[in-house]
A and B are shown apart, each in its own frame.
Chain A
Amino acid sequence: MISTPLWLWLSAAVFIPVIIHFWNKKSGKPRLLGTFRFLPDDTFSAARKIKLHELPLLLIRVLMVLVITALLAGIFWETEKDSMDELWVYEVEKTGNPKAEEKGNSIEIPSLEINEKGWWNILAQLDHQFQPKNMIVEGNFSAKNFQGERPEISAQVEWVNSDSLTLNEKQLAIWKSGMETNYRFFQYKSKPGVFSEVEAVDEVVPENSLQQLKSIRLILNTNNSEEINTGLKYAADYWNITAEERQLEEIARIESGGQTWILKSQRFEDGPTDFADPNDISGISFHVTDMDTSVEFMDPILTGNLVNFPILYEEQKDVLVINGEIEQEIKSWVYAGVGSYLIQQSLEIMEFLSPEIISEQREVISASGENKEAKERKSAGFWLFMLLALLWVLERWLAPKRGM
């Protein structure tokens, strides 16, 4: 195979030594030589013999031109790449070394890398690199690690759930309600997906636990309308948090472990365009109940011209602002969701257990046969160079002997 065939034109230069050879042979009119009989008989005594003697030299020179041409043209050959029968891909929890580690026919990939790149990218890369017939992938197959389109992979992929990595249940927060009872919010995976629950906890949380046991309570403004307080109390009930009413400037507040989280109402006569711009975090989605219903506030950009459209946004990290007039019929329901979101914020629940992507969706797209026949390109440069050096030495050795 040739990488730059353009140089092949140079092979026409083989005619140069041939022409020189025949030019040299063309000795013209025979010259009379009275001393003819003193010419040695054993070497070069006949024209026919000379031809035989010169032929190797001519061939060497032609070969030299061809080798130089081949060197410039970048000759290489392709060999069948050794393909692996099986490649084991392990997801490992590593914090120190985020690089993938190859061990024989297995490779360890840190979770961090999987989180960054996603399984599809990693598998496509491994498939191209190792050309395995089968890939056995063991790890955590959370939906978040399967972004993007499924790649074409030539290997057969087998998925093995890693018990050590797969969390079937995750406790996201633990708190103490006003009734001196501890509750926790946790998620667990089940066939249909991930479920969230709040339940009472009997056992004592160890002191060194990552999650601090907080004492948390919801305080409502007594001046709130009944619909608002009904909705907020619904949220407090869901989270098993004590709710009490008091005179407040804001709609509600949550006191949690020395921190206060506030829900305010704010009216802008000119509508949300007065304070919202595309860079603000102004659209917040929240689940009114745990999983069945949700109200998603629209992006203010889209609602820029709708003056009376309600909007919920975070003024600060711990201040939630609701703007606009919410219709009476859904007011309690919306405030239940807003209250729930505020409680979630105060419990610092930032991430949730991701649902596992089902095995049917993990099926890769079978690649065409082309990938299977991947070949390795090996340059002939080194061998050609060695051959050229050898030919050069031969040429220099022969030429003086032939007088050429």
Chain B
Amino acid sequence: MERGPEELDFLRSGVNLGLWAKHIVSGFMIGFHKGTRRGTGSEFSQYRSYQPGDDIRQIDWKMFARSDRYYIKESETESSVTVRFFLDTSASMKYEENGITRFRYASLITAALGTLVTQQGDAIALHLVNNQGQQSLKERRGKAHLSRFIQMIENGNCEGSWPESSEWLIDNLTSHNRELWVVCSDLLDGHDRWNKFVEMSEHIGHEVLFLQILGENELHLNLPDVATVQDPESDRQLNIRPQAVRTQYLQNLDAYLNELKIALMSPKSSLHLMEMNKPVSKALYHFLKKRERE
């Protein structure tokens, strides 16, 4: 699980996102979500007798060798949901720390989770979201779809901000299946927008996971003595002395994060903070472990 330094190197380099996402999830012995459908999957459930119509590829030939009977090996698959990823591509995702942009970090998380979901046999959908125009990938299963999923992430371009209204979302929802929404963003565009998002997902009946990705410098303002900082969305610049403004800044940030927590407080939504200085693999592992316990 200790892939930190390698992973940081990867994030800085332009190595194929899909490969690394696969590499990350290969170590996980846990799934992204639990399902009740039995079928092919990673978690063994039971053997049942072969019945006409079953795919002969599912026959467990080792059992046939021992018992001379055809058995189908069934797993408790954790799927039957569509996992819809909303990857924030607003300008604030260009925020960079230790040579890694927030978008790159979020991309790896999205790609890794997408890979995990695909391995579980579930459908994934992707929306690259900003107010300059969304890109969407409809829900599908399979490796080919995962490739398109990853390709689309890699081509993502960060600009503008998160859209104020949620109309764009309604237009893109075509599936009537149960869905799990995963939002990868810094969630810094004002809690109202996220509140609306939660309300909409609740209305439709979907669960939403908010993965808030923030940098260490954003959380603690660990900048040099004097720094010129720029708002990625408005391009406004300021010269600041972090030491002088830190207290007030942290108070403001804490207040916002608390407001956000309250805004996202819902039985079907949860908020997970991920710090960019931690390796994605570690962050994901902890996130999935936590989710497993819930």
Instruction: State whether the Cβ of A278 lies closer than 8 Å to any Cβ in chain B.
Output: no
Cβ contact within 8 Å between B230 and A32? yes
Q: How many A-B residue pairs have CB under 8 A?
A: 107
Cβ contact within 8 Å between B241 and A33? no
Across the interface, which residues of A come within 8 angstroms of B229, CB to CB?
Answer: 30-33, 36, 39
Q: Which listed segment binds B: A21-29, A315-323, A331-339?
A: A21-29
Across the interface, which residues of A come within 8 angstroms of B227, CB to CB?
Answer: 27, 31
Out of A34, A46, A400, name the residue touching B95 (CB < 8 Å).
Answer: A34
Known: A25-B239, A401-B244. A34 touches B249 (CB 8 A): no
Interface hits, B215-273 → A, CB 8 Å:
215, 217-218, 223-232, 234, 236-245, 248-249, 252-253, 256
Across the interface, which residues of A come within 8 angstroms of B94, CB to CB?
Answer: 32
Contact with B along A114-149 (1 / 0, CB 8 A): 000000000000000000000000000000000000
Cβ contact within 8 Å between B214 and A28? no
Cβ contact within 8 Å between A33 and B226? no
Instruction: Give the A interface residue count (CB, 8 A).
Output: 27
Query: In the complex, what distance in Å separates the CA atom of A44 from the CA atom of B248?
Result: 11
Out of B218, B228, B241, name the residue touching A34 (CB < 8 Å).
Answer: B218
Query: In the complex, what distance in Å separates the CA atom of A32 from the CA atom of B186?
Result: 13
Across the interface, which residues of A come within 8 angstroms of B240, CB to CB?
Answer: 39, 44, 50
Cβ contact within 8 Å between B218 and A33? yes
Closest residue of A by beta carbon distance from B236: A36
Out of B225, B241, B252, name the residue touching A44 (CB < 8 Å).
Answer: B241
Across the interface, which residues of B come within 8 angstroms of A46, CB to CB?
Answer: 238
Interface hits, B98-147 → A, CB 8 Å:
102
Known: A30-B229, A32-B95. A402 touches B244 (CB 8 A): yes
Instruction: State whether the Cβ of A160 lies closer than 8 Å to any Cβ in chain B.
Output: no
Chain B interface mostly helix, strand, loop or mixed? mixed
Query: In the complex, what distance in Å separates the CA atom of A38 from the CA atom of B253?
Result: 6
Tell me how far the C-beta of B40 lies from the nearest C-beta in chain A, rounded to whole angstroms: 42
Known: A25-B239, A402-B241. A35 touches B214 (CB 8 A): yes
Cβ contact within 8 Å between B92 and A34? yes
Query: In the complex, what distance in Å separates the CA atom of A31 from the CA atom of B231?
Result: 9
Interface hits, B188-224 → A, CB 8 Å:
188, 214-215, 217-218, 223-224
Across the interface, which residues of A come within 8 angstroms of B224, CB to CB?
Answer: 27
Tell me how far the C-beta of A17 lies from the nearest C-beta in chain B, rounded to whole angstroms: 14
Q: Measuring CB to CB, which residues of chain B are less than 8 angstroms from any residue of chain A?
A: 92-96, 102, 186, 188, 214-215, 217-218, 223-232, 234, 236-245, 248-249, 252-253, 256
Q: Measuring CB to CB, which residues of chain A are less than 8 angstroms from any residue of chain B?
A: 24-25, 27-40, 43-47, 50, 400-404
